[in-house]
Structure 1
Amino acid sequence: MKVAVFSDSYHPYVSGVVRSIDLFQEELVKRGVEFIFFIPAYGNHQKEKGVYRFYSIPAPTNKEFHLALPFSPKIYKTLREEKVDLIHVHSPFLLGRLGQKAGRQLNIPVVFTYHTLYEEYVHYFPLARKAAKWVTSWYTLDFANKCSAVICPTEAIKEYLQEKGLQARSAVIPTGIDLEPFAKADRRWLKEKLGLVSKKVCLFVGRVAREKNVDFLLESFKIVALKLNEVVLVIVGGGPELPHYQKKAEELGLKDKVIFFGPVAPEEVSLFYAGADLFLFPSVTETQGLVFAEAKAAGLPTVGVKAFGSKSMVFEGVDGFLTSLNLQEYAEKVIFLLEQEEVRKDFSQKALQNAQNFSKEYTAKLMFELYQSLLK
């Protein structure tokens, strides 16, 4: 079986989409699946077998992310010569649209993974945000309905899309993770490295940007810091808005309470989860939120907010809490778990147990079965 992957997000850019593609590829290759890629070019890069890069330009709102120009007179010829059985697109835009069009022209099944609540990103539009949100929602749904199958990371996202009018075949397949690095990670490393041995550490992992609700995170943590003296928030991740949030933390009087560690290599991220006491992730734009699964794998209780991605990932009162977008309510749940050590330990054990549902081996099995069913 040969699968052509079309994605607007790929290496060297780091994102949840890229990590999802990597994790599924790693496992599906073991099952005999062969992959080729149609992705954006990033400056100078060596020619890679089975990788077709498109000329791209930096995005206006994020220079790290490149927008591919999805034009190729040879695309149909290439897909025929490669003898592609199935096309998997990871975005409804640019290269994703190109992949879908090629699938229709060549009668190749097209799978679309709905990674992102795209309409929640309209804050990047300077004008007409309400209209932009409606158009984005309509466009994405129209795209999905023209695919052979739509992969939803959670049941909540599947229900949301069906309520909006999704009629295409759909399947719930979360992105799995490699559980082993989290189980083996040194739990002392983080606090020793940052000089926080006597502190309670709250952790955020993700893109430091508005759509991740970092404003809410910092403002609620100020309430926590006023109540508990020996607590620190470590923020792991980068992004163009990082300097803005560093300044905001200072303005909130959190200069000594918040550590912006910056981006880390994927193979090192388990050390941060393993060394923390609590995971904080108030984003409302996730379809799944791979970081929720990573926190579980490290036995880390989570405090999130009620949203599509979190509702299927955090089990309320079992391995974490979900609150409304109320600063005081959120802070109180954080304070409760930091103060109640026995409850936190119980949540930690439950998180480890629930992590088994997100092993990369299990989720890859579900993906492989979907692929097979589309080729019958």
Structure 2
Amino acid sequence: MDRPKLSILMVIYLPRRPFVLENTLPTFFGLYPALHRILATERVGVLHAHQAFSTMAHEAVMAARCAGCATVFTDHSLFGFADLGSIALNKAMKHSLADVSAAICVSHTSKENTVLRACLPPSLVSVIPNAVDAALYTPDLGQRQPGRITVVALSRMVYRKGIDLLAGILPRFLARHPKVDFIIGGDGPKLPGLRRAVSEAGLGPRVEFLGHVKPEAVRSVLVRGHLFLNCSLTEAFCMAIVEAAAAGLLVVSTRVGGVPEVLPSDILLLAEPSCDGILEALETALVTLPTIDPWRQHQAVREMYSWRSVTQRTEDVYYRAVQARN
């Protein structure tokens, strides 16, 4: 393998074809020769793997342990204990993380979930939230439509994102408030049903569907809104609400997983994960909206989730992992 003489970041592509959801076949040892070569050639001291569903991440952790490297694993999601997929995944995690040097979770709720699923000592697991580059999400009040209130919802159109709840509250909320519009972005299997619910209620002119929104276009969508709505049924952290808050939107979200830990109550209004609960929170949001200062809110988010802070805390975990391995 050719190594650049001076390199801060190196990206190495392994010749493995994904078979589902961008994951390679879970062989546990199929990537070992390539991973071992990388670890030895680059003199890797700490291997940091992400995501419980990544087969490469689990294989890399085991290869690094065999090579004597310190290992750190970050889990970003919440999983159950009863369904077949979760049982299989949890068994795999117990095996691959049995000798991990340290672990990171994005919320305290996520930490409790991972400790139970992987049977890890709680002292090994640190809580470090995701960071946001707030400079990319500055408010722009000039993009808001005068005389109207716009609610923005951006998410993947899948069951766990609460799209059925969104379809249930749209007709009722818009019927109550004729000066409210919705902008909905995202794609997935639940999108046709959501479109159908809007069409059957005759709300087409007041609900704008954007389909898939590229990451670089997210801010331009957010700044058009006053409120951001998240209907998720499960979340370990939820970056979408942090980005929306940085853009100056008042956030309404279901009270699930690690969401209550993410933002203070003057920025985030929590709702029970039901149509009635979300409608009640949206009504409260409309009353609260005139008191919101988008730029003050932006500054608060910038200070809470800076990359400098998250990087420093992650480096501290690396140092502890190396000491534990030694």
- Tell me which residue corresponds to 1:296: 245
Contact 1:284–1:309 under 8 Å retained in 2: no
- Tell me which residue corresponds to 2:3: none
Contact 2:134–2:301 under 8 Å retained in 1: no
Secondary structure of 1:89 counterpart: strand
Report the Cα offset of residue 87 of structure 1.
Answer: 1.1
- Tell me which residue corresponds to 2:220: 271
Structure 1 residues 140 and 256: alpha-carbon distance in aligned structure 2, compared to 1, 3 A threshold? farther
Report the Cα offset of residue 158 of structure 1.
Answer: 1.8
- 1:206 corresponds, among 145, 150, 155, to 155
Report the Cα offset of residue 138 of structure 1.
Answer: 4.5
Q: Which moved more, 1:139-148 or 1:275-284?
A: 139-148
Q: Distance in 2 between matches of 1:74 and 1:139?
A: 21
Secondary structure of 2:48 counterpart: strand
Q: Which moved more, 1:254-263 or 1:156-165?
A: 156-165
Report the Cα offset of residue 51 of structure 1.
Answer: 1.7
Alignment length (residue pairs): 311
Q: Write the letter of the residue equivalent to 1:76.
A: H
Structure 1 residues 283 and 144: alpha-carbon distance in aligned structure 2, compared to 1, 3 A threshold? farther
Secondary structure of 2:280 counterpart: helix
Contact 2:78–2:113 under 8 Å retained in 1: no
Q: Write the letter of the residue equivalent to 2:17.
A: S
Report the Cα offset of residue 177 of structure 1.
Answer: 0.8
Structure 1 residues 68 and 187: alpha-carbon distance in aligned structure 2, compared to 1, 3 A threshold? farther
- Tell me which residue corresponds to 1:130: 83
Secondary structure of 2:242 counterpart: helix
- 2:137 corresponds, among 182, 195, 198, to 182
- Tell me which residue corresponds to 1:305: 254
- Tell me which residue corresponds to 1:108: 69
- 1:76 corresponds, among 27, 36, 41, to 36
Q: Distance in 2 between matches of 1:323 and 1:372?
A: 40
Secondary structure of 1:361 counterpart: helix
Q: Write the letter of the residue equivalent to 1:132.
A: G
Q: Write the letter of the residue equivalent to 2:209.
A: F
Report the Cα offset of residue 182 of structure 1.
Answer: 1.7
Structure 1 residues 68 and 130: alpha-carbon distance in aligned structure 2, compared to 1, 3 A threshold? closer
With the length of structure 2 as denominator, give the TM-score of the two structures.
Answer: 0.84
Structure 1 residues 109 and 203: alpha-carbon distance in aligned structure 2, compared to 1, 3 A threshold? same
Contact 1:320–1:347 under 8 Å retained in 2: no
Q: Distance in 1 between matches of 2:243 and 2:320?
A: 30
Q: Distance in 2 between matches of 1:173 and 1:90?
A: 13
Q: Are residue 156 (structure 1) and residue 109 (structure 2) matched? A: yes
- Tell me which residue corresponds to 2:313: 366
Q: Which moved more, 1:239-248 or 1:285-294?
A: 239-248
Q: Distance in 2 between matches of 1:304 and 1:363?
A: 24
Contact 1:158–1:172 under 8 Å retained in 2: yes
- Tell me which residue corresponds to 1:85: 45
Contact 2:62–2:96 under 8 Å retained in 1: no
Question: Residue deviations 1:96-117, cap 9 Å, x none?
Answer: 1211111121111111111112
Gaps in structure 1 of 5+ consecutive residues: 1-31, 37-49, 60-64, 121-128
- Tell me which residue corresponds to 1:25: none
User: Higher RCO, 1 or 2 (CA under 8 Å, sep at least 6)?
Assistant: 2
- Tell me which residue corresponds to 2:300: 353
Q: CA RMSD in A?
A: 2.7
Contact 1:114–1:287 under 8 Å retained in 2: no
Report the Cα offset of residue 139 of structure 1.
Answer: 3.9
Report the Cα offset of residue 354 of structure 1.
Answer: 4.2
Q: Distance in 2 between matches of 1:291 and 1:339?
A: 23
- Tell me which residue corresponds to 1:320: 268
Secondary structure of 1:101 counterpart: helix
- Tell me which residue corresponds to 1:95: 56
With the length of structure 1 as denominator, give the TM-score of the two structures.
Answer: 0.74
Q: Write the letter of the residue equivalent to 1:314.
A: L
Question: Which of 1 and 2 has greater Rg?
Answer: 2
Q: Are residue 337 (structure 1) and residue 285 (structure 2) matched? A: yes
Structure 1 residues 66 and 142: alpha-carbon distance in aligned structure 2, compared to 1, 3 A threshold? same
Structure 1 residues 68 and 251: alpha-carbon distance in aligned structure 2, compared to 1, 3 A threshold? farther
Report the Cα offset of residue 263 of structure 1.
Answer: 2.4
Contact 1:302–1:320 under 8 Å retained in 2: yes
Q: Write the letter of the residue equivalent to 2:55.
A: L
Q: Distance in 2 between matches of 1:163 and 1:326?
A: 27
- Tell me which residue corresponds to 1:41: none
Contact 2:74–2:104 under 8 Å retained in 1: yes
